Structure 1
Amino acid sequence: MPEKTSKGSSGSGGDGGRRGRWPGLPRDADRLVPGLLTAAVALAGAFAVHAAVPALPAMTAAVALGLLAANLPGTAAWISGRARPGLDFAGKHLMRGGIILLGLKVSIMDILDLGWLAMVLITGVVLLSFGGTYVLVRLFRLPRETALLVATGFSICGASAIGAMAAVRRIRHADTVLPVALVTLCGTLAIGLLPLLMHPLQLSPETFGAWTGASVHDVGQVVATAQTAGTAALGIAVVVKLTRVLLLAPVVAVAGMHHRATAVTTQQTRPPVVPLFVLGFVALVALRSTGWLPGGVLDAGAGLQDILLGAALFGLGSAVRIRALLHTGARALLAALAAWLLIALLGLAAALLITG
């Protein structure tokens, strides 16, 4: 009967059929609402924390609030129960939307203004820190997937890079939680520590800014760190950092090709070389580089990117259980600190050459 067809859970005529065709969206999508509303409330709290303490990026505050919500007795049951489907959706799918919009912050023209030497040095920092971090994490006997994600996040652009690499390598969403926690922790450490080293190391504002952009993980953390040395430091820090961000696409593409080749030899389903959301990132980089977009559009894109990424980071942070983290936490923390020291030294060497 027509009435039955329109209510079918798997047919193409009803609402359930329409929902079923969207990848990653459950048929009972209303299950997402409690978690997404929770993420929205937490995100408002994260922005309020950032307004009260400007040195603390809102994205870092979002992860911290997620950790607290998942482990406090009054909220843990809600986070692991009714809110969990929506929070998992945010951690995976809203993260991808944030990565796409990140492209609006990257202008090829700004990067070219650094000069070829600077671009070569920054690329070298990314490649050496990626390989070195991977080796360090493996030396601490952590899984290959964890090593790959930590190396990607530390060397390129924090949680956004981790999300992109996890997608192209088809790494489980749950396995991104520890790398995101580590990259957030070490990026926060940089905010407090690097400004204290500026004067003992006798760095000019420009050199300090280049060092920050070359070695701090997340864009927000770079801004929070570099602004302590003034506008000159902040300007070069952002451009150097966005040069690292631009390398997200080729690094993910190489990882995708390797995974695709491995899938062929093991007769697994062949994944795409580059996920669609990474192509979206590249497209918005190209659009941003044309100079056609007015400032209002760029500001709106940046605001929406913060909302999507902040909700995603709250979702990821809310998946961390402190008790479970303690089993591998000591080794993981030591590996992350060693990797942080490596990229700080590489970034300092590059900064001295760029501004020398």
Structure 2
Amino acid sequence: MPTPLQRSGLLLAGAVALVSCLVAHLIPGVSALLIAIVLGVAARNVGILPQWGDPGLAYASRVPLRLGIVLLGLQLSLPDLFARGWGLPALAVLVVGLGILGTLGLARILGVERKQALLVACGFSICGAAAVAGVKSSVDAREKETVTAVALVVLFGTLMIPLIPGAAALLGLSTEQTALWAGASVHEVGQVVAIGGLLGGGALGLAVSMKLARVLLLAPVAAILGAGSRTSEAGTHDARETPAKRPPLVPLFLVGFVLAAVLRSVLPVPQEVLTVASLLQEFLLATAMFSLGAGVHVRTLLSGSGRLIALAAGSTLLVTVLGLGGALAIA
């Protein structure tokens, strides 16, 4: 529970998130997460955020984010993901695996620090801001690195909303191929929903199913990264020294994410419950995005941004090409 000192900032973040969600639902194709993080960055850098809100904003950047990720698990139905055979899961593994490895390789060429590169790689290859938050503790990343990765993933994912349908039209792709391409390539679930809505027909369900196959890989990737970080920490400390605090193998909220996905898969969860959970998830993640945005100091963020933007652009191009190839192969 938040302390009295934290409540005011938490209420501020929640109010902005509510406005962001309302605007997003009034304007098709606009992400509530994007609105919230832009408002957070703007409020911080024009100097209108009161200092009394900082403790609550710090709380809001952690707890609502984790709760939102748990609720994200309710969107996953394993029978639905496998209804088309192994095509969707196989493409998800391909995009996530090669996307992460390729982004890390590009980061090494560009000279981007490994923890920052891991956050970008997972955010762009798996499920955007939720993936950044999901692996943050596994790689023991700093707040600045997290905020930077979230800002990049929201920015580049939003740019893909008009680009994917436009490129698909130029390439002469079918609606089914375009939906699969969007689900396999675009960063945020909300951005995939926006593209599916633009395509119409059954494209939305197909695009979201493809995307959720990638989301399903968040927990195993976080576990692998957590195991790697623990091994690395153990190797850098003398056995006689007091062991350093290690990142958890799988953060507790990711366990909740997996349990929610299992619950959705084995029980007949009413559609009304799923709708409410989806809206609550959007609100919680928007609350966290405003809080993360409020931690961005533009002058600091822009220092060395050329390499990060190049990494984000390269990672986006990589997952887009992988997604297109996979969509053409299985559609």
Question: Normalising TM by the smaller chain, what interval?
Answer: over 0.9
Q: With a CA cutoff of 8 Å and minimum separation of 6, indicate the structure with the bigger relative contact order.
A: 2
The 1:121–1:48 alpha-carbon spacing in structure 2 relative to 1, beyond 3 Å, is closer
1:132: Cα distance to partner?
Answer: 0.8
1:285-337 Cα shifts (integer Å, max 9, x gaps): 00000132212221222122111111001111111111111212222112211
Residue number among 63, 70, 74 corresponding to 2:44 in the alignment: 70
Moved over 6 A (4+): none
Which amino acid is 2:99 matched to?
A: S
Q: How far off its partner does 1:175 sit?
A: 2.2
The residue identity in structure 1 corresponding to 2:25 is A
RMSD of the alignment, in Å?
Answer: 1.5
1:9 corresponds in structure 2 to none
Name the residue aligned to 1:286. Answer: 262
Q: Which has the larger radius of gyration?
A: 1
What is the DSSP-based 3-state SS (H/G/I as helix, E as strand, rest coil) of the residue aligned with 2:202? helix
The question of 1:131 aligning with 2:101 is answered yes
Residues 1:350 and 2:326 aligned together: yes
1:40 matched to 2:40? no
1:152 is aligned to 2:126: no
In structure 1, the partner of 2:277 is: 301
Alpha-carbon distance in structure 2 between the residues aligned to 1:301 and 1:265: 42
The one-letter amino acid of 2:26's match is: A
1:237 corresponding residue in structure 2: 207
Within 5 Å, give how 1:1-356 maps onto structure 2: 29-73=3-47, 75-76=48-49, 78=50, 81-267=51-237, 268-355=244-331
- Alignment partners' CA distance in 2, 1:40 and 1:118: 36
* Cα distance in 1 for residues equivalent to 2:259 and 2:88: 24
Q: Distance in 2 between matches of 1:255 and 1:152?
A: 10
* Alpha carbons 2:124, 2:153 under 8 Å: kept: yes
Structure 1: any 5+ residue segments left out of the alignment?
A: 1-21
Question: In structure 2, what is the Cα distance between the partners aligned to 1:294 and 1:235?
Answer: 17
SS in 2 for 1:200: helix
Supply the AA of the counterpart residue of 1:67: V
- How far the C-alpha of 1:105 sits from its partner, in A, is 0.4
CA drift of 1:62 comes to 1.2
Q: Percent identity?
A: 42
Distance in 2 of aligned mates of 1:183 and 1:318: 17
Whole-angstrom distance in 2 between the partners of 1:227 and 1:273: 37
- Give the structure 1 partner of residue 240 of structure 2: none
Name the TM-score, length of structure 2 as normaliser.
0.94
TM-score, structure 1 normalization: 0.88
| Contact 2:82–2:88 (Cα < 8 Å) also in 1 | no
Q: Letter of the aligned partner of 1:223 in structure 2? A: V
